A and B are shown apart, each in its own frame.
Chain A
Amino acid sequence: MLSLVTFFPLAGVLAIIIAARNNANTARYIALIVSLATFVLSLRLLIDFDSSTAAFQFLEESEWLPAYGITYRMGVDGISLPFVLLTTFLTPLCILSSWKSVQKMVQEYMIAFLALEAFVIGVFCALDFILFYILWEAMLIPMFLLIGIWGGPNRVYAALKFFLYTLAGSVLMLIAIIVMKYTAGTFSIPDLMNAPLGFNLQIWLFLGFFVSFAVKVPMWPFHTWLPDAHVEAPTGGSVILAGILLKMGAYGFLRFSIPMLPDAARYFVPLIFGLSLVGVVYTALVALMQKDLKKLIAYSSVSHMGFVTIGIFSFNQQGLEGGILQMINHGIVAGGLFLLVGVIYDRMHTREIAKFGGVVNVMPVYAVIFMLFTMAAVGLPGTNGFVGEFLILLGAFLANKGVAIVATTGLVLGAAYMLWLYKKVFFGVIHSDEVQALKDMDRREMAIFAPLIILIFWIGFYPGPFLEIMHTSVEQLLAQAHTIKAGTAAVSMY
């Protein structure tokens, strides 16, 4: 079942190669249908999922390269399942949003997108380290092409920077993985969670993983690839990037760094808190200064992901669940905001904030939807943003009051830049003919946002079911995080 969900998009790739060689529209429909089918299949996972156990479910195991202990092993638990669903949920929306904006090499675009989806789902399902690494790296190829071929004016630079940054980050992870294999004797992720590792080794391994995940999250100061990649990527690419790829880094912390290297994770909490806080405040300040819509949202992503890492490393139920929920929220909200920017970019072909103004007069529906997403991004009660941020701050407060207080300023700044953005773009008088000529959203565009808006309020008012899925797994993660794995008593710095 899990393999089916993961590799079903690849069937779409084949279908496009065979059936849609010369017909762009067929390629679009195939991609949409396949991604919707994948979503439906993944819902089946949700229905059959047993949230009362923390064990991995839908396990699949078959021999792959037994001589080297590499196995094809898949499975999900309460932590990875939400990300799988998020991926399958956002991909059809991205494909829908690129319906008209992508006009050149449509087949290739859809192929890249479906391949990306398959690899990303695989990353969240993989329970063998080499399988995980292969998918984690393989994902770079379609993303590189998405940014480089269909991106903006500076796309080549952005694509290369994205690729090389992430690659340089992840090669060290490969070394860490192999070292773990020869210390603990296995590539199996569940087994490694229980394998004893010495404290010093844990420290080195943690650093090896840290670089790779920190680049992906991205944490300050490893974030500089993100604004470029976001600004230049096509709308669909930005959505996937913000909505899912960034989550892979934090997922790495949750899945590997904390349960496998708990002593090192506790040891490095001050480092993570420090970098996250700088990230939260500094990038929020940078966001205030941006002239480009996408760049502003890109920096806000870095700021929000800083919250997530604070939540994760506060090592309590509230913080962890808040962190995971906030990642889902951010996937929905930032994804939605990028889609919204895409809507207006398709019409005006500019993202410069100063060129807009008074848009509310010509695009009232658009303004309302944008307002909803702004509120969710700011974390207004009643929206999903509030739930996630509140839980994170609660967790952080329990762990370290100082951190919580500084992090709160990030919230204030977040409200400042988002509202400032809204005011500049939507209010005021219309001062350009281009804005005057804007048409409001059509049905296809509204259809994209409807499911996102439903989720914003659903999680906002009734987050129970969403937290329920991850509850047991988070409890187990907490237990793992507090074990002392190293034989010698490890000194915690806090």
Chain B
Amino acid sequence: MPVQMPDISLGLMLPEILVALLAMALLLMSAWYGKEGRGTIGWMSIFGIGLAALAIMIGGGTGETTFGGMFVDDTFARYMKLLLLIATVLPLLISFNYVHDNKMDGGEYYVITLFSMLGGMFMVSSGDFVMLYLGLELMSLSIYVLAAFKRNDQKSSEAGLKYFILGSLASGILLYGISLIYGSFGTVSYTGIAEALANSHGHVTPAVGLGMVMIVGGLSFKVAAAPFHMWAPDVYEGAPTSVTAFMASMPKVAAFAVLYRVLIITFPALHSQWGPLLQFLAIASLAVGSFAAIAQTNIKRMLAYSSIGHVGFLLIGLSTGTSDGYQSVLLYLTIYIIMNTGAFALILILNRGGIGDELTDFKGLAKKRPFLAVLMATFMFSMGGIPPLAGFIGKLYIFMAAIKAGMISIAIAGVLFSAVGAFYYLRVVKYMYFDEAKSDFSMPVSSASQAVIVMSGVIMLVWGVFPGSLLSWTETTVRMFQ
């Protein structure tokens, strides 16, 4: 039997290669230069991400595949990769000071972040389950390390360990699901499985159904959808805040990209099964996200529950199985990344003043630093889905897609939970505006953080009123799923 060499066109992977080379070079550099050079490593990683973004924008999205279909570079991958880069760059930009103040700037911090993002990029471009798993593990392992990065801090170590154990369990479930699917079809390729399913004329063996459910379950863990959310609050709280900011956005983009690939490309024939499954996950996440967040006093925990709630909305959009729904998820995800990072940026800014992890730390911020308070209020109102901010537009399109697909009861549940959820976002505004200051909030704000929060705030307003550009980007992106 002749050995068949797979077709390899490395050009398609240029962004990934750039990031990988950069990360390795930076690792060497950090060992070489010692303490003095470390400040530049952060900026160099940002520069590298910029280069990768450029490579994606110029050459990405051709629709070609390589490595025998393992790696796909289509318009969807292009959009999601850009989103991944944004979801990495923004948290990096706001955490320079935090990383420095907490003595976490041993160069490795940035390198591991880059590797994690690299894993995400492979997930996004995966063309089969093996690629998916490799990317997922690279991403997750890096984040486990990041979560435990404050080595001498008990909470941080606990967060890392907890995330690692539960994450491994979820990976195991995912692998088990993949092996069931492989056993049934003899292939791990997304398109191959889809063809086999299409040829089976709607006859689905229990093994395939079980495998699909397990894959969805494993991925639900990564996006922290209820009932697979238990790890999120503890890990969000325990991990260093800069890592939490990163963890709350980047992996979600990657995992949702994979959900698109698995559900829409691989299992379109099983929509009648995964639709209700996602709806259940969505409602459960919304319920957990809105009610459990009310009881929180730690803002990182609160944002953990809030992110569970946001995942609930995203899953509603995905469960519709329509291109409107797919578009609305991309829209919401993009908006979520920006407003979430904005909120974390403010926590990090307050952290410099030695406070910021408790909700009560925000008391009276409006009196001392009205500018910061306005921005935080913008992010909170946007997360609560109050117009005229972008968060409302995101929710509006999710609900429109759901109702168009006939899921009226799900939409009603969604709006009611969003009204409950508004309460805890309002509480942050309440602390900032209605209460007396107990701290003088005299901390400095770095220009990078300032740029991020101002830009995010402006984007919230602009997209809240004129979301046209975002709409057309997402519309072109999901066109390939029709």
Taking Cβ atoms with an 8 Å cutoff, the residues of A that contact B are 64-65, 67-68, 105, 108, 130, 133-135, 137-138, 140-141, 144-145, 148-149, 155-156, 159-160, 163-164, 167-168, 171-172, 174-175, 178-179, 181-182
Contact = CB atoms under 8 A, between A and B. Distances in A.
Given A138-B386, A141-B381, A178 B403 contact: yes
Given A145-B433, A175-B403, A182-B403, A160 B415 contact: no
Interface in B413-471: 415-416, 418-419, 422-423, 426-427, 429-430, 433-434, 467-468, 471
A160 B422 CA distance: 10
Contacts of B467: 65
Given A65-B471, A105-B366, A156-B430, 4 more contacts: A133-B387, A156-B434, A160-B426, A178-B399
Contacts of A167: 386, 419, 422
Contacts of B434: 148-149, 155-156, 159
B400 interface: yes
A108 B411 contact: no
B387 A138 contact: yes
B399 A160 contact: no
A105 B368 CA distance: 11
A95 to B, nearest CB: 20
Nearest to B384: A167
A164 B416 contact: no
Contact of B419 (A64, A105, A164, A182): A164
Contacts of A137: 386-387, 392
Contact of A68 (B400, B416, B419, B423): B400
13 contacts: A65-B467, A67-B475, A68-B400, A145-B433, A148-B433, A149-B433, A163-B422, A167-B419, A168-B416, A168-B419, A171-B418, A175-B403, A182-B404
A163 B385 CA distance: 13
Nearest to A165: B419
Interface residues on B, range: 20 to 34
Contacts of A172: 412, 415-416
Contacts of A164: 419, 422-423, 426
Contacts of B427: 160
Contacts of B433: 145, 148-149
B387 A175 contact: no
B462 to A, nearest CB: 14
B430 A148 contact: yes
B294 to A, nearest CB: 11
Nearest to B381: A141
B296 to A, nearest CB: 16
Contacts of A175: 399, 403, 408, 411-412, 415
A311 B312 CA distance: 43
Contacts of A141: 381, 386
A207 B352 CA distance: 50
A64 B464 CA distance: 12
B396 interface: yes
Nearest to A139: B387
A171 B430 contact: no
The SS class assigned to the A binding surface is helix
B388 interface: yes
Nearest to B466: A64
Contacts of B386: 137-138, 140-141, 167
A155 B471 CA distance: 40
Contacts of B422: 163-164, 167
Interface string B399-411: 1100110001001
Contacts of B392: 134, 137
A103 B396 CA distance: 39
Contact of A163 (B387, B403, B426, B471): B426
A130 B411 contact: no
Given A141-B381, A171-B418, A172-B415, A179 B387 contact: no
A302 B371 CA distance: 38
Going nearest first, the 4 A-B pairs with the smallest beta carbon separation are A171-B415, A134-B387, A168-B419, A148-B434
B368 to A, nearest CB: 12
Contacts of B183: none
A65 B381 CA distance: 22
Nearest to B411: A175
B63 interface: no
A228 to B, nearest CB: 15
Interface centre among A149, A156, A160, A171 (most CB of B within 10 A): A171
Contacts of A68: 397, 400, 471
A178 B426 CA distance: 26
A130 B475 CA distance: 20
A160 B475 contact: no
B273 to A, nearest CB: 25
- Kindly name the residue among A65, A133, A172 whose own CB sees the greatest number of chain B CB atoms within 10 A: A65
Contacts of A64: 468
Contacts of A156: 430, 434
B370 interface: yes
A188 B102 CA distance: 56
Nearest to A163: B426
Contacts of B370: 108
A174 B397 CA distance: 11
Contacts of A138: 386-388
B408 A179 contact: yes
Nearest to A107: B370
Contacts of B404: 182
A160 B430 contact: yes
Given A67-B471, A67-B475, A175-B412, A134 B388 contact: yes
A130 B396 contact: yes
Contacts of A135: 387-388
A55 to B, nearest CB: 28
A108 B403 CA distance: 39
Contacts of A168: 416, 419
Contacts of A145: 429, 433
A141 B422 CA distance: 12
A179 B367 CA distance: 43
A130 B392 CA distance: 11
Contacts of B429: 144-145, 148
A62 B415 CA distance: 29
Contact of B430 (A67, A133, A159): A159
Most chain A CB within a 10 A radius of its CB, from B416, B429, B472:
B429
B85 to A, nearest CB: 26
Nearest to A137: B387
Contact of A171 (B366, B403, B416, B475): B416
A67 B468 CA distance: 9
A158 to B, nearest CB: 11
